[in-house]
Amino acid sequence: MQAASFEGMTGEYSIQQIVPTTQDGSATGGGVFDMQTLDDAGGADEIYVYLTVAEDNAKKDGWYNEDGETFATKTFKKGDAFMVNNSTGAEAGLTFSGKVSLGEVVVDLPEFYSIKGNFRPVPISIQDLVPVVPEGMSLGGGVFDMQTLDDAGGAKEIFVYLTMADDGVKKDGWYNEDGETFATKTFAPAEGFMLNNSTGASAQLKYLAK
């Protein structure tokens, strides 16, 4: 899971500002890189493939819709993330281009699961991420949980957001799955995660200033 790290200060970030790169000069086209966004149920929502003029006779290098013919116009809002599959058989990278915001940023957090991520160019602590709920709603009690995924797409780590008012813990913040240990998880630049909002309403996720 990756996030559109070097996102514009305002507006949206284009999929074409994300370019896969290989370490050993192997092919980047031919669909060896594909990208997926997920729906509320965690299934594939949109699929894109990276094609090049040299390898695919595409009109230009870049991300294409699943049909392999239509140049993708997908944009990402602040904090949105996506899944990227690297089937080159070796480690590769993603190059992001654009501006960055280091001030406090608040992004929309829809009901149920969505993919969010670290769009800062520096590592951030899980504790730098603060859910915000409409007035009168409970913030703690595990109504927000976060998951990172393993290579097979299964849950790797699970965290829950707890508060002193609702849960009797020592301080507000993210806790490990046991609900007792204050989480120390760090997210690298562009690293993504799944975040579940089970409040029954739209909420927000605040990124504290870095």
Q: Is the pLDDT of residue 39 over 70?
A: yes
Per-residue pLDDT of 107-121, as tens digits, reads 888 888 888 888 887
The pLDDT tens digits for 124-144 are: 999 999 999 888 787 888 899
Question: What pLDDT is stored for residue 94 in this prediction?
Answer: 82
Domain assignments of the chain as residue spans, ordered by start:
2-96, 105-207
List CB contacts of 17: < 8 A, sequence separation 6 or more.
4, 6, 96, 97, 98
What are residue 10's phi and psi, to 5 degrees?
-135, 165
Note the pLDDT of residue 14: 87
**What CATH architecture applies to the domain 105-207?**
Sandwich (2.60)
Tell me the average pLDDT across 37-58: 85
Q: Which tens digit of pLDDT belongs to each residue from 54-85? A: 888 888 999 999 999 999 999 887 777 888 89
Torsion (CA) 127, 132, 135, 136 in degrees, nearest 10: -60
User: Which residue would you say has higher pLDDT here, 8 or 40?
Assistant: 40
- Residues 6 or more apart whose CB falls under 8 angstroms from that of 25 comprise none
Q: Note the pLDDT of residue 9.
A: 43
Burial of 42 from C-beta contacts in 10 A (0-12 / 13-18 / 19+) = middle
Task: Give the model's pLDDT for residue 3.
Answer: 62
Q: Say if CB 77 and CB 94 are below 8 A apart.
A: no
Res 6: pLDDT: 52
pTM of the model: 0.66
**Do residues 68 and 32 touch, judged by C-beta distance below 8 A?**
no
Identify the pLDDT of residue 100: 67
Nearest to 115 by CA among 39, 12, 19: 39
Residue 77: what pLDDT?
78
Q: Are 116 and 149 in contact (CB under 8 A)?
A: no
15 φ, ψ (degrees, to nearest 5): -60, -30
User: What pLDDT sits at residue 73?
Assistant: 94
Give the mean pLDDT of 145-161: 88
Would you place residue 146 in the very low, low, confident or very high pLDDT band (cuts 50, 70, 90)? very high
